[in-house]
Every structure is written in C-alpha cells, then in structure tokens.
Amino acid sequence: YNDISSSFRNMGQADSALKYISYGLEVNRNVAMSKDPKAAASGKFGVGVNYCCMGIVYENQGNYPLAVEYYFKSMKIHNELVKSAVPLARKKASEALATVYTNLGGVFQSNGDYKKALTYNYKALSLYIKHGHVRYEALMYSNIGNAYKALKNLDKAIESYKKGIVVANNGGLFADAGYISGNLGSIYKEAGDSLCKIGQMKKAFDSLYPLARQFIDTAYAVSSRFDSWRESAVWLGIMGDMYTSYGDFAKAESYLARALEYASKGGDKGSIRDIYAFLFRLYEQKGDWEKAFVFHTSYVNIRDSLLNIESLNEISRKEINFEYSKKAAADSLKAVERKRMGETLLHKARMQKYFLFTGLGLLLMFGIFMLDR
C-alpha cells in the first residue's frame, strides 16, 4: 500500500495517496494487536511508517501542522520500538527515526526555523552514520548545508555540501553527488548575485556564475535522467534566475517556463512559490510591469498560504504538547520507580538483609526524507 501511495504522491495525487496509506494503516493496526511479539512489533512498526507517509503527503501539500502531527505520531511509535524486546524491531525503528528526523528538519526548514532544522538534521545524520546508510548520510550533509545557507553561514554550507559530495562519490553514488553539486552551485549563484548588487559584475560573471552553471547543469542532467519533476524544477528555476542576472531574458523565460511546468506536475507548492518569485524578478527587469504584477501577486498568495502565523503557531503548539507529554510520561515513570524502590528498602529493613538493589532506569529520548521526494 505504501508503494502505491508513493506513486500517487509523486504524481501529485494527494487524495489517492492518503487513501492507500489508510488501507495499509488498517492492516498494520490489526497486526499490531497480535499476541505474537514479533508480529505485534512488525504491525506497530508498519503503523509508524504509515504515519510518516501521511506526514510526507501533508508536507507536500503545504499543510505543515498536520505534517508535524503525523511525524510526531510516527516518532513516538518508533521511539517505543527502539526499546522493544525484538532485536529486528529495535534496528528497523532506529532507522525509521532517522527518516522522521529528516522530514521534521524539512518542515522547520520550510517554515524558516533553520536552527531547529539543524537540530533534527544532525540527529538524523548520527543515525545514518550509525547504521551505515551512506546515501542518506551524503544527502543529510546536503540538508545541513541548506540550513546553514539559509542562516547566511556560507562557509559552513559549502563545507557541508563538499562533505556530502565526498561521501557520495566514495560510495559510488554519483547521481547523489550530482544532486548535492546542484546545491553547491546555488551557493555560487547567490554569491554572484550579491556581488552584482554591489556593482562587482565582472567577478560574478567571470568566476562565480560559471561555477554555479557547471554544478547546476550536472544536477539537472541527473534529475532529468530519473524523471524527478521536483528537482528538475528547482535547478531550472535557479538557472532561469541566473540568466535574468546575465540580462539574457529570452533564455531566462524559457528556463522558468519549464521550471513552472515541472513544479506544477509534481504538485510542489514550495517550488512553485520560488519560481513565481523568479518570474516576478525577470519581468521587473524587463520592464513588463503587467506580468511582473501578476507573478508577484501569485507569489504572495502561495507564500502566505504556505507560511502564515496561524500555521507557525499550530506547529509550535504541537511540538510543545509533544514535549509536555514526553515529560509527563517520564515523570510518571520516575514516580512509579521511586515508590517501588521505597517498598523494596522497607522490605529489606524488616528482613534485616543487606543486598545491592539496582532499579531499572527508564530514559525517554524523543526527538524529532524523503529525500527522495
């Protein structure tokens, strides 16, 4: 069911994707009620995966509060399974947590909370390294680079991208190395844009923009080969905006039209928003004020639908509620343990026997990729 839903999600058919996830969720909930520990753990793991898949669908729709809600549900289940008596369940749950952390990092990145995005991305990175998942380790360095880039820490961003490229190439993951190269190219493109704003056009055109084009062309070739509409839209959009900076408006318009087509096919509102911004800049530079107004209005509308105060408050509320529930559960368990220890000590005194008693420490560590989205 998850594979079918993933296919619908990639085609931008969210309702069909959610329908098939719900079918899988019903099956897994029934399996989770099994008296066989291994079967029950397998069913519970499936429920956690279903919740994560729902979060991905809602995130792609720009419904961040619901995405966070389902990611937290998934995270809670996998954290419980990490303590399971079934070894395979523990390993699979730990691996699944890395995906949940990755996706939560993506939500907070999309909502402008880059420091929180870094927190979850680093959690995911440590688990990918622990489990030897080279591909996701490489791509997580890319996500970390994206967060540093948004924080204007370009040195750390470039460092993270380069680490990702090295890891990917060493693992023979040349397609992923190409993807991360696109992110590195976007850094050089933005650096060139900054130079243009202060009048240093020659340096931008002679060194930074050619580097940007080299890396982004590589990334686009990779995304085209694998028919990834979302990624193709991103790279085409960046290239189009760079041609706007060059003053080659015909090429800029051609690239941005294709970028918008691919982003619309993939149903990715975040990419559509960015391309509207690029189109607004293009027509503003051309002096076509009518089209500039149209795309600026479109940009503002979709931006506000994706990022608004109510959504941010709802996301914060869900995280606060989750952290409160976590603390309450931990405090409750500690209270039970203290009572149990008190009864044991009382029993020892009455029996006048001395022995070492070690209580069971219960540590609840909840924290909050598809990359391949």
SS3 for 158-193 is HHHHHHHHHHHHHCCCHHHHHHHHHHHHHHHHHHHH
- For residue 133, which phi and psi values (nearest 5 degrees)? -90, 90
Alpha-carbon span 6 to 18, nearest angstrom: 9
**Strand (E) positions, 7-156?**
none
CA angle 32, 326, 343 (to 5 degrees): 90
Rounded Cα distance between 147 and 109, Å, is: 7
pLDDT attached to residue 312: 59
Render each residue's pLDDT in the chain as its tens digit; 373 residues.
Answer: 777 777 777 677 778 888 888 888 899 999 999 999 999 999 999 999 999 999 988 888 888 899 999 999 999 999 999 988 888 888 999 999 999 999 999 999 988 999 999 999 999 999 999 999 999 999 999 999 999 999 999 889 999 999 999 999 999 988 888 889 999 998 998 888 888 888 888 888 998 889 888 899 888 888 877 767 778 888 899 999 999 988 899 999 999 999 999 888 877 788 899 999 999 999 999 999 999 999 999 999 988 887 654 555 566 656 645 554 554 444 444 444 444 544 443 344 333 333 322 232 322 222 323 333 3
Q: Are 127 and 75 in contact (CB under 8 A)?
A: no
The pLDDT, as a whole number, for residue 100 is 95
d(CA 186, CA 174) in angstroms, rounded, equals 19
- Given CA atoms 207, 148, 135, 264 in this order, what sign does their dihedral have? negative
pLDDT of residue 355: 30
In degrees and rounded to multiples of 5, residue 113 shows phi and psi of -95, 80
Six token digits for residue 147: 């967060």
CB 62 within 8 A of CB 269: yes
Distance from first CA to last CA of the chain, Å, rounded?
A: 17
Torsion of CA 183, 184, 188, 189, to 10 degrees: -20
- DSSP state at residue 134: H
**Per-residue pLDDT, 237:** 92
CA atoms in the 13 A half-sphere facing the CB of 322: 22
Residue 370's identity, in one-letter code, is: M
Residues 6+ apart with CB under 8 A from 130: 94
Check if the beta carbon of residue 227 is closer than 8 Å to that of residue 174: no
What pLDDT score was predicted for residue 225? 76
**CA dist., res. 52 & res. 369, Å (int):** 10
Q: Which pLDDT belongs to residue 360?
A: 23
Phi, psi of 357 (to 5 degrees): -115, 125
From CA 75, how far away is CA 98, in angstroms rounded?
9
Residue 308 has a pLDDT of 59
Residue pair 44/73 in contact by the 8 Å Cβ criterion: no
pTM of the model: 0.64
The pLDDT, as a whole number, for residue 316 is 60
Cβ–Cβ < 8 Å for 128, 98: yes
CB 105 within 8 A of CB 117: yes
Q: How many Å apart are CA 125 and CA 132, to the nearest integer?
A: 10
- Residue 317: the pLDDT is 57
Q: Is 110 exposed, middle or buried (0-12, 13-18, 19+ CB in 10 A)?
A: middle
